[in-house]
Structure 1
Amino acid sequence: MPNVLIVDDSGIDRALAGGLLEREEDIILSFATNGREALDQISSTRPDLVVSDLQMPEMNGLELVAALREEHPSVPVIIMTALGSEKIAAEALKIGASGYVPKASLSSHLPQAVRRLFDASSADRLHSRLFHSLQDLDCRFRLQNDPELISPLVDRIQEVLRCLPLGDEAERVRVAVAVGHGLWIAHHHGNLELALNGHWTDSEFQEVAIQQRMESPATERSIELHTVINREQATFTISHEGAGIDVSRLPPDLESQAADRSWLSGFVMIPAIMDEVSYAPAEKKIILVKQAVQARDDDLEFS
């Protein structure tokens, strides 16, 4: 069973997060009150995932993320954010956090974020050595109007990313999650043509998406993922058949808006994880590039 360490100096918030995750029958929980205590526990128990508050005494969430990247790089971290801390959360993503969840909507977002990360982390370890031997890959997947195929495709991408030196397991998971966000953006804002500056709540957004998905022309549209990976870099070109995605239409306060509307979070997470991100509205494409860590530090090993 996966072990999740919840780190928060507030007993109420620890209990809330723990109560939400206890409903997931295959998760074991442990708790810490600050980053320093969390590091001590991680050294002895090695959890599969850390869920941490940002603002804590002794060692805050940002410092904890940095320390984990240095001392335990294979342990992913999800940050819980309070109102007004969105910019710090974005910084946490840049230095290694695997995701963030607003505290105001923990009940609807935390279990989903944890499950998504575990799904992305569950690639068959028996394939690890085989994919480390892969020298290069050039493949295309075309998904019809069926978003249920996005998750298994992300799992497959995570497996083949083993041939790209990324430094550690957590970074490979982060890249796969970012590709997943790109696929959802192409589906929702490309093929379904849902406005980037919409004011839907998350539940309203899902309702509109389901309705749009069942109507023409969305029913006939597909998305394509062209993946090219070698030892130097991975390039993911996501194509769709809807209207071009014009990111200039995103709200100017994107980070704070994404804290309340998780359907915008991909636009924050992708540039925090990928080395290059470009949207080509005329070509109806999203292009994501991740460089091998050996290009930046030859001493790092394959993940």
Structure 2
Amino acid sequence: MTSKRAKILVVDDTHMARIQVGGLLAVCANWETVFAKDGQEALECIAADHFDLVLTDLVMPVMGGLELVERIKKLHPQMPVILMTSQGNEHIASDALRAGAASYIPKRMLGDNLVSTVRSVLDVCHERTSYSRIGPYLRSNRLQFVIGNDGGLISPLVHVLQEQMLNEAIVDESERIRVAIALEEALSNALYHGNLELSSELRESENDLYFEVAQQRRQIAPYLGRSILIEAIRNQEEVRIMIRDEGPGFDPTNLPDPTDPENLEKVHGRGLLLIRTFMDKVIHNDRGNEITLVKRTCAEPVEVDQSN
């Protein structure tokens, strides 16, 4: 896959970590990587140059990742920040996500997930709106899509939802980015965990096998005929997006609490952690094959409902 041109700032106080991350990002020729050893140096780099994305460690001298996220959120709200987390700093990472970070990657999963996560966040950010002057006058809007088990449709679908539903309803650009990332996570969950019935444990232990099995299941029953329904409604108060797969579902009450910092390092529940952090209300149906994401124009504390 060809990646869009981007300049990425990597912030980590450990020399070997910077080398590792730089080597992983070098797989994309269109990505230029610049390094900083702490948050203060990162802010100096940002003041002197333009960056499309910041990838940061959390615990560093002078200025750590949490304060860096807060400063970037205030000074450069359009600039997404991805956290690199490790065991022992889960609470800081949880605070940084609430403060405005766009996503996170456990350091032990960098080899498998770094490039795909960076590409996904950049893809969301590069889709700038041209929605025109009439958008603010819209009183209500409704969209409905039905897609098959094609992961290649997730990104363009999110872009349409951004333009038609998010860009005028949500003023804060960093929040629009975070909502778009939550949508990508919810759609990916519906596809891979819902329709294709793949487990997070498989992805954590055998990342390549996970996608091989996904490709196989797309071609055979009962997975072949399944689809995903997406219904999006926007009014002056909120944007509400329902995503329903045709898999067997699950009991959402049995999920480990994804908002608990102790679960931050687990692949299982990562998507729900981001969804619940970035949205104002999250609703699961009883069967566990439908999720509704709500973002209000004036944010209030997140609500989680396990039923319709």
Q: TM-score, normalised by structure 1?
A: 0.87
What's 1:115 paired with?
Answer: 119
What's 2:249 paired with?
Answer: 244
Q: Does 1:91 align with 2:116?
A: no
Q: 1:165 aligns with which of 154, 159, 170?
A: 170
Q: 1:215 aligns with which of 213, 220, 223?
A: 220
Residue 11 to residue 91, structure 1, CA distance change in 2 (3 Å):
same
Are the counterparts in 1 of residues 10 and 55 from structure 2 also a CA contact under 8 Å?
yes
What's 2:192 paired with?
Answer: 188
Are the counterparts in 1 of residues 129 and 163 from structure 2 also a CA contact under 8 Å?
no
- SS of 1:220's partner is coil
Distance 1:213 1:50 in 2: 35
C-alpha deviations, 1:158-212, integer Å up to 9, x for none?
Answer: 2221121332x22111101101111111222222234577785233433333333
Distance 2:204 2:74 in 1: 39
| 65-74 or 201-210: bigger deviation | 201-210
Residue 205 to residue 246, structure 1, CA distance change in 2 (3 Å):
farther
Distance 1:210 1:225 in 2: 22
Question: CA shift at 1:132, angstroms?
Answer: 5.1
Q: Which runs of no fewer than 5 residues in structure 1 stay unpaired? A: 297-303
Q: How many residues align?
A: 294
Structure with greater helix share of residues: 1
Q: 2:231 aligns with which of 207, 221, 226?
A: 226
Residue 51 to residue 200, structure 1, CA distance change in 2 (3 Å):
closer
Amino acid of the structure 2 residue aligned with 1:61: G
- Bigger relative contact order (CA 8 A; separation at least 6): 1
Amino acid of the structure 1 residue aligned with 2:29: E
| 120-129 or 210-219: bigger deviation | 120-129
- SS of 1:190's partner is helix
Residue 84 to residue 277, structure 1, CA distance change in 2 (3 Å):
same
Are the counterparts in 2 of residues 190 and 240 from structure 1 also a CA contact under 8 Å?
yes
Distance 1:255 1:204 in 2: 28
Q: Does 1:61 align with 2:53?
A: no
What's 2:143 paired with?
Answer: 139
| 99-108 or 207-216: bigger deviation | 207-216
CA RMSD, aligned part only? Answer: 2.5
Amino acid of the structure 2 residue aligned with 1:238: I
Q: 2:294 aligns with which of 264, 272, 289?
A: 289
C-alpha deviations, 1:210-245, integer Å up to 9, x for none?
Answer: 333332111111001101123321101111112123
- SS of 1:46's partner is coil
